[in-house]
Amino acid sequence: MSVIITHRLPSGATLLIEPISGVRSAAVNWRVPAGAATDPADRQGQATMLSELIFRGAGGLDSRSHSDALDRLGVQRAADPLAHHIQIEATMLGSRLDDAAGLIASLVCGPTLDDAEVAPVRSLCLQSLQGLEDDPQHLAMLRLREQHLPPPLDRHGYGDAGVLESITGAELREAWKHRFVPPGSIIAAAGAVDADRWIQTLERELAGWQGAAPSPLSFGDPRRGSRHIEQDTSQVHIGLAYDAPPESDPNAMLERAATAVLSGSSSGRLFTEVRQKRSLCYSVGASYRSGREGGWVALYAGTTPERAQETLDVCGQEIERLREGVTAEEFERAIVGMKSHLIMHGESTPARAAALANDQFRLGRPRSLADVAAEIDALTRSDLNAYLADRGFGPFTVVSIGPTPLEAPVASAEAGAA
């Protein structure tokens, strides 16, 4: 059984380490409190730009030299703006972890943020934003997020075109100074990691890292309702969302099981009823997205204009039908699927590092694979059916992209149910 070490660095950052026997790789998931939700309301795009700009020179090395140094160590790396954090991921052989520590740390503590690199980074970010129009499925789900979640959690992380076009190096350096700070930062490592040596290495590399804790986020009211984006196309892209428990809620694992029954596999209700039996769509699925402040379930369906309204209606009916309970076969299939997913992710060191960081942020503590497996094993069909019988799903939030607006299905909460 693996043991997870939690250590508070002198700077105030939280360090999580899960040594895993039998693997040769090590993965680092480093999160700083600088995500898209922390951008000023009128400057959405700072996190987007910083996620790319930090790789354009750091630790006294120019962009090419820093990149070459990481390549020589075989470090695979990426950075992404999440809602609360900018996430930096790095994966390498465990034997190279200590050598790579300074280079990885410099991305957080000492990026150059050179004015000369702002224009090419701006161009890349604008291309990514403009490219969303060529991916209507992805666009529909981003618009669903904007419609369903409260500001600033509704932000998608691609930034605003006007901000991206006007942003300056000075503005980005100021944002980095105030948001790439130890308080609220999480550094998770999993795999072939010597915990004691890794702690000593990071304490040395981060000796001068400091900064004040960022201000807590304040939340606005979500838009909700329906939104239609008119496009004269032969396809319709539908997004539907409803509220769900946060990760810290005792019912979170029950919600995960319910979503697995709804959409956990090709035997899930959505695939069976909407696609297989009625041939209404070419793609359908739902996922439970649990956060710290709240959770939601996001459903996507891709279909044709002629079948769009019926597709949406049947999806709503299948969500509502969960309140009638699940069969023993459905429950068993959901549990097997959840445990299979857990085991497969446990074999990936980047996935384990990300899971540690997620748990620390959402729950205030990391969970081992055994901890999560025990939570799954503790589920019973009677508990799940009792939970579903009392669960209201509405009102639904609906986003559609296609030629004609759709009418949102009526959910149980709107019909006066619990």
Cα dihedral 126, 178, 106, 345 sign: negative
Asked if residue 92 lies in contact with residue 198, where contact means CB atoms within 8 angstroms, the answer is no
Find the CATH number of the domain harbouring 259.
3.30.830.10
Q: What is the model's pLDDT at position 413?
A: 63
Question: Given pLDDT bands bounded at 50, 70 and 90, which one contains residue 265?
Answer: confident
Cα–Cα dist 91/195, whole Å: 16
| Residue 415, domain member (yes or no) | no
Q: Are residues 258 and 394 in the same domain?
A: yes
Give 32-72 pLDDT, tens digit per residue.
999 999 999 999 999 999 999 999 999 999 999 999 999 99
- The more confident residue out of 418 and 43 is 43
Chain CA centroid to CA 146, Å: 15
Measured distance between the N- and C-terminal CA atoms of the chain, rounded to whole angstroms: 41
Give 314-331 pLDDT, tens digit per residue.
999 999 999 999 999 999
Cα–Cα dist 301/382, whole Å: 30
Q: Which amino acid type is present at position 127?
A: Q
Q: What is the model's pLDDT at position 418?
A: 38
Cα–Cα dist 95/81, whole Å: 29
Q: Are residues 308 and 348 in the same domain?
A: yes
Alpha-carbon distance values, 186 to 19, 25, 88, 123, 381 (Å): 17, 20, 10, 30, 36
Cα–Cα dist 194/18, whole Å: 9
| Residue 416, domain member (yes or no) | no
Question: Which region among 127-136, 180-189, 261-270, 279-288 has the lowest average model confidence (pLDDT)?
Answer: 261-270
Token pair recorded at residue 368: 């081992």
Q: Are residues 163 and 256 in the same domain?
A: no
Q: What is the mean pLDDT of the segment spanning 385-407?
A: 96
Alpha-carbon distance values, 286 to 33, 89, 144, 224, 299 (Å): 29, 26, 13, 18, 4
Residue 407, Cβ density class (10 Å: 0-12 exposed, 13-18 middle, ≥19 buried): exposed
Cα–Cα dist 147/150, whole Å: 8
Cα–Cα dist 368/347, whole Å: 13
Helix ranges (H only) for 206-348 are: 252-263, 269, 308-321, 328-346
Q: What is the model's pLDDT at position 1?
A: 60
Q: Are residues 199 and 237 in the same domain?
A: no
Q: Are residues 175 and 239 in the same domain?
A: no
| Residue 418, domain member (yes or no) | no
Q: What is the model's pLDDT at position 168?
A: 98
| Residue 128, domain member (yes or no) | yes
Give 81-115 pLDDT, tens digit per residue.
999 999 999 999 999 999 999 999 999 999 999 99
The pTM score is: 0.95
359 pLDDT more than 90: yes
What is the number of other CB atoms lying within 10 angstroms of the CB of residue 177?
11
* Alpha-carbon dihedral 174, 84, 243, 283, rounded to 10 degrees: 100
What is the number of other CB atoms lying within 10 angstroms of the CB of residue 287?
15
Question: Given pLDDT bands bounded at 50, 70 and 90, which one contains residue 412?
Answer: confident
2 pLDDT more than 80: no
| Residue 370, domain member (yes or no) | yes
| Residue 110, domain member (yes or no) | yes
Q: Are residues 124 and 182 in the same domain?
A: yes
What residue has token string 């409260």?
150
414 pLDDT more than 60: no
Q: Rounded mean pLDDT of the chain?
A: 96
Q: Are residues 181 and 233 in the same domain?
A: no
Q: What is the mean pLDDT of the segment spanning 10-38?
A: 97
Q: Are residues 145 and 11 in the same domain?
A: yes
Q: Are residues 60 and 171 in the same domain?
A: yes
Give 208-231 pLDDT, tens digit per residue.
999 998 889 999 999 999 999 999
Cα–Cα dist 202/204, whole Å: 5
Q: What is the model's pLDDT at position 263?
A: 96
Q: Are residues 236 and 363 in the same domain?
A: yes
Question: Given pLDDT bands bounded at 50, 70 and 90, which one contains residue 415?
Answer: very low
Q: What is the model's pLDDT at position 245?
A: 98
Asked if residue 187 lies in contact with residue 14, where contact means CB atoms within 8 angstroms, the answer is yes
What is the number of other CB atoms lying within 10 angstroms of the CB of residue 166?
12
417 pLDDT more than 60: no
Domain count, the chain: 2
| Residue 294, domain member (yes or no) | yes
| Residue 56, domain member (yes or no) | yes
Q: What is the mean pLDDT of the segment spanning 116-145?
A: 98
Token pair recorded at residue 45: 């795009």
Q: Are residues 196 and 283 in the same domain?
A: no
Q: Which domain holds residue 169?
A: 5-205
Cα–Cα dist 292/146, whole Å: 18
Q: Are residues 136 and 197 in the same domain?
A: yes
